[in-house]
Structure 1
Amino acid sequence: MLGRMDEHRGDRRRRPFRFGVVGESVRSADALLSTARRAEELGYATLTLRDHFVAEPFGDQLAPMVALAAAAGATRTLRLGTMVASNDFRHPVMLAKEAATLDHLSGGRFELGMGAGWLRSEYERAGMAFDAAGTRVGRLEESLRILRSLLAGEKADFAGEHYRVDGLTVFPAPARRPPILVGAGSARMLGIGGRLADTVGILPRALPDGTISDEISERLPETIARKVDLVREAAGDRDVELSMLVSPTFGADPRAAAAKVAVLRGWGASSMELVLDMPSQFVGPPEHIAEQMAARRDRYGFGYYLVSDADMERFAPVVALLGA
């Protein structure tokens, strides 16, 4: 599997690194602006915000599109993105209008991250139908096709199972289509990301009960390699960026740090060796983590890593070591 993946990817593995911050603990205007400015100072490429209207499991969140517009006015080079917008919360035409406006106001710095929606309790508490995964994913695929057309400045004509658009354009027309990221963990989602996104964020799979899998198998090298293969096969000749949200664990001894992760995640201390080789786990001092990231870019192709704002300061030395 790894051999086929490497052959298919070719020289795309050497895409330059970039790093992002997920503003998970941002609860106020002051916190938003200070986090955005500090991320820019530290050399991060992006500030992203989640899209939830319940506190669990990440804490209360600001509305991403409005908050990102404010962050754009406080920064000059920092890119702004959603990580990720739930497709079911907005009609794609409305989302295209908001994305085009935010891209215009930020001087072309917006990146649209999209997902199918996964948190059942959120849907239920909002009185929204939590449809079967196949239906939600089907809606996302149609939405992405509409968004790609509108945000490219084209006249959109689309008639699908879930959406219909008849000769619509969006204002303001972006100078270039904002990059689109799709967060994906299942085979179908990975294929959609490979075909329609500029960046695919590799995730553990979402479960039918409306949670994200915590199975250790979802994080092992062979699983990640298989998911990368699915993206690459769907992408064909398109050069799709690979991304992952990670929680680094710092410490002088990588093995001790890995054992800590294994225990805290409930996998048991005996899983320490597995943690050391997990593509989503980075443990040890900054220099060791930088080496791990370089090796995993060569092995899998990951070039865009995001960390929580809680890790932004501690992770900054890694950004300095690997940033362009």
Structure 2
Amino acid sequence: MTELGVVFRPQLPPERLRGVVEAAETSGLAELWLWEDCPLTGGIATLAATLAWTSRLRVGIGILPLPLRPVITTAMETATLARLFPDRLTLGVGHGAQDWMAKTGVRPASPLTLMREHLTALTALLDGETVTEDGRHVRLDGVGLDWPPARRPPILVGATKERSLRLSGELADGTVLDQNQPPAAVRRARAAIDEGRAAAGRTDRHELVVYLWAATGPDATERLRRELAEWGVDEVPGLGAAGNADAVAAGVRELAEAGADRVVLVHTADEPDLAGFVRFAAEEVAPLVR
């Protein structure tokens, strides 16, 4: 079964979030995903609000840029939310946009080294361990959480490049692929992830979450075309889905066949009815892909 979700994009003002969250909760949508994107809305703040406004909705953050926070801060915030709202949180982390990491003064010389150190320490801290580490980016001296979660939420890595995908397979519980990855790229990503898992001797489940550009309504095809052109990916074959529920479900199934476990619809910037789009996903598309 393929789980279906929807993204609330941080390019929208944060005061619009609650209406979308309420539509997701009442429509039966499986999960709502949030982005942290410099210099837009903060991921932890929107994550906390979304969880507080709901009682059953699963909420993913995909992604928090690792360089922006010390690992202990990420662990403390995640543990607090996981204890307040058990079993409803998925944590996605990643390199972040390197130009923005440079602008904010936190761009690492080696993003992969930072990711390895942060993932290792973050996992241990959320598992309730006491961590001592003297790395290039993580320095902890006998640090542990007083209030670790009863169950660590899944930690997923946002990645597209081969080395990062292999590292995700090695260390993370899952991977998030952005909305500019067509089915062929999903297959390549799954292969790289599996290489990392094999090298680490991992046999547990590794979930692959893939974002999908999607639009519905009479002008759906044109709105999707404009969005892809804005991102400079309008020439990428097999990207996005536009039209009625059958058309969007077909796009979801393509990604599932390529290796996606969960597909998250990404609305266009000019989506005229975001709450309606959420209900469309939950009530019309989701039954076609279960």
* Bin of the TM-score, shorter chain as denominator length: 0.7 to 0.9
TM-score (norm 1): 0.74
What percentage of aligned pairs have identical amino acids? 26
Residue equivalent to 1:21: 7
Residue equivalent to 1:76: 55
Q: Is the 8 A contact 1:87 1:116 kept in 2?
A: yes
Residue equivalent to 1:181: 156
Residue equivalent to 2:270: none
2:101 aligned partner, one-letter code: Y
What pairs up with 1:232-311 in 2 under 5 angstroms?
232-236=194-198, 237-250=203-216, 257=221, 261=224, 265-266=228-229, 275=237, 278=238, 280-298=239-257, 300-308=258-266, 310=274, 311=277
Q: Distance in 1 between matches of 2:278 and 2:65?
A: 25
Q: Distance in 2 between matches of 1:25 and 1:314?
A: 21
**What's the offset of the Cα at 1:230?**
0.3
Q: Distance in 1 between matches of 2:281 and 2:173?
A: 25
1:144-172 Cα shifts (integer Å, max 9, x gaps) = 11011111122223332321223221132
SS in 1 for 2:29: coil
Q: Is the 8 A contact 1:20 1:304 kept in 2?
A: no
Residue equivalent to 1:66: 45
1:268-289 Cα shifts (integer Å, max 9, x gaps) = xxx88x73xx2x4223321233
Q: Is 1:230–2:192 an aligned residue pair? A: yes
TM-score (norm 2): 0.82
Q: Distance in 2 between matches of 1:239 and 1:144?
A: 17
Q: Distance in 2 between matches of 1:188 and 1:154?
A: 27
- Relative to 1, partners in 2 of residues 1:162 and 1:46: Cα closer, same or farther, differing over 3 Å? same
- Relative to 1, partners in 2 of residues 1:186 and 1:179: Cα closer, same or farther, differing over 3 Å? same
Q: Is the 8 A contact 1:65 1:102 kept in 2?
A: no
Q: Is the 8 A contact 2:186 2:259 kept in 1?
A: no
Aligned-CA RMSD value: 2.9
Q: Is 1:156–2:131 an aligned residue pair? A: yes
Aligned pairs, number: 274
Q: Distance in 2 between matches of 1:222 and 1:73?
A: 38
1:176-199 Cα shifts (integer Å, max 9, x gaps) = 111111110111110111112222
Q: Distance in 2 between matches of 1:106 and 1:73?
A: 8
Q: Distance in 2 between matches of 1:295 and 1:246?
A: 10
1:108-142 Cα shifts (integer Å, max 9, x gaps) = 3222110112141x33543x14344xx12210121
Q: Is the 8 A contact 1:143 1:163 kept in 2?
A: yes
Match of 1:42 among 2, 8, 27: 27
5+ residue gaps in structure 2? 268-273
**What's the offset of the Cα at 1:263?**
7.0
Q: Distance in 2 between matches of 1:74 and 1:220?
A: 33
What pairs up with 1:130-209 in 2 under 5 angstroms?
130-132=107-109, 135-203=110-178
**What's the offset of the Cα at 1:246?**
1.4
SS in 1 for 2:97: coil
- Relative to 1, partners in 2 of residues 1:33 and 1:203: Cα closer, same or farther, differing over 3 Å? closer
1:24 aligned partner, one-letter code: P
Residue equivalent to 2:271: none
- Relative to 1, partners in 2 of residues 1:124 and 1:194: Cα closer, same or farther, differing over 3 Å? closer
Q: Is the 8 A contact 2:183 2:254 kept in 1?
A: no
1:148 aligned partner, one-letter code: T
